[in-house]
């Protein structure tokens, strides 16, 4: 589809949205953002790092008639791969076989990715277009995370039109269970090392006290 947007944020800020912004007093601030380059359209180091640390996101699509649908996608950290400055992709695993996302993309390629990082209270929104690739075994295998127990069925390639971040307001702080377990393991190891060192120091102190008592008795 041809890009007829004046600003990158026009992918979301339609004339109707801008009219609401004008009525509610936020249009001037967003116009300032537009005049200063608008939303980012390429993957920079910040987004690359965010994607590398992601193990869960939501993919939104819509039918040709505009009925939206949101599908969760997950995997080990790093399962979202960067193909170039404007393109990301991931192996799409076999699931409940409803194929709503694939069906929607076959008639409407517009899509949206929403990623939430609860631990650090961050979120990233990515607008673009997506397509499903079913017949590229090499690409599918290349995108499949090593040792991950899932069956890759196809690949979804997402071309980025624009992306933006949100403020942390109202994001509850939550932690991934595996991260908590790792942190607890590290804490336990530190406590064990501390207790071992304390025992060693106490033994050394007792030895020194014993030597002092012996020396006093001999004197």
Q: Could you report the per-residue pLDDT of 52-75, keeping only the tens digit for each? A: 999 999 999 999 999 999 999 999
- Contact at 8 Å (CB) between 128 and 161? yes
Q: Are residues 70 and 94 in the same domain?
A: yes
Domain count of the fold of the chain:
3
Using alpha carbons, select from 164, 137, 166, 142 the residue that is nearest to residue 153: 137
Cα–Cα dist 161/11, whole Å: 8
Which alpha helices (DSSP H) does the chain contain, by range?
15-24, 27-35, 45-52, 100-107, 137-143, 177-218
Q: Are residues 51 and 107 in the same domain?
A: yes
Q: Are residues 149 and 139 in the same domain?
A: yes
pLDDT value at residue 3: 55
pLDDT surpasses 90 at 93: yes
pLDDT value at residue 1: 47
Q: What pLDDT digit, counting tens, does each position of 118-176 carry?
A: 888 999 999 999 999 999 999 999 999 999 999 999 999 999 999 999 888 888 888 88
Q: Are residues 65 and 116 in the same domain?
A: yes
Q: Are residues 53 and 156 in the same domain?
A: yes
Q: Are residues 121 and 182 in the same domain?
A: no
pLDDT surpasses 80 at 106: yes
Cα–Cα dist 175/177, whole Å: 6
Q: Are residues 146 and 66 in the same domain?
A: yes
Whether 60 maps to a domain, the answer reads yes
| Predicted confidence band of residue 206 (pLDDT cuts 50, 70, 90) | confident
Q: Are residues 202 and 101 in the same domain?
A: no
Q: Are residues 143 and 191 in the same domain?
A: no
| Percent of the chain whose pLDDT exceeds 90 | 67
pLDDT value at residue 70: 97
pLDDT surpasses 60 at 116: yes
- Contact at 8 Å (CB) between 42 and 86? yes
Beta strands at 56-62 and 110-117: parallel, antiparallel or unpaired: antiparallel
Q: Are residues 31 and 45 in the same domain?
A: no
Quick one: tokens of 173?
């702080």
Q: Are residues 140 and 45 in the same domain?
A: yes
pLDDT surpasses 80 at 45: yes
pLDDT value at residue 64: 96
| Predicted confidence band of residue 213 (pLDDT cuts 50, 70, 90) | confident
pLDDT value at residue 219: 62
Beta strands at 152-165 and 122-133: parallel, antiparallel or unpaired: antiparallel
Q: Which domain holds residue 97?
A: 40-165
- Residue range 29-37: mean pLDDT, rounded: 92
Q: Are residues 135 and 203 in the same domain?
A: no
Whether 170 maps to a domain, the answer reads no
Using alpha carbons, select from 179, 58, 68 the residue that is nearest to residue 124: 58
């Amino acid at each position: 589809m041809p890009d007829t947007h004046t600003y990158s944020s026009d992918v979301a800020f339609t004339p109707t949205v801008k009219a609401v912004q004008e009525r509610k007093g936020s249009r001037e601030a967003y116009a300032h953002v537009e005049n200063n380059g608008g939303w980012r359209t390429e993957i920079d180091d910040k987004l690359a790092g965010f994607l590398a640390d992601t193990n869960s996101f939501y993919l939104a699509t819509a039918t040709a008639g505009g009925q939206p649908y949101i599908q969760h996608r997950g995997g080990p950290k790093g399962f979202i791969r960067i193909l170039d400055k404007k393109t990301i992709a991931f192996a799409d695993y076999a699931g409940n076989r409803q194929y709503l996302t694939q069906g929607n993309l076959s008639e409407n390629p517009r899509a949206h990715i929403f990623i939430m990082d609860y631990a650090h209270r961050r979120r990233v929104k990515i607008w673009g277009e997506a397509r499903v690739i079913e017949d590229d075994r090499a690409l599918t295998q290349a995108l499949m995370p090593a040792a991950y127990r899932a069956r890759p069925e196809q690949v979804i390639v997402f071309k980025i039109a624009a992306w933006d971040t949100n403020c942390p307001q109202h994001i509850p702080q939550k932690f991934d269970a595996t991260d908590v377990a790792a942190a607890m393991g590290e804490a336990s190891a530190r406590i064990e090392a501390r207790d071992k060192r304390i025992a060693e120091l106490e033994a050394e102190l007792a030895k020194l006290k014993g030597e002092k008592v012996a020396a006093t008795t001999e004197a």
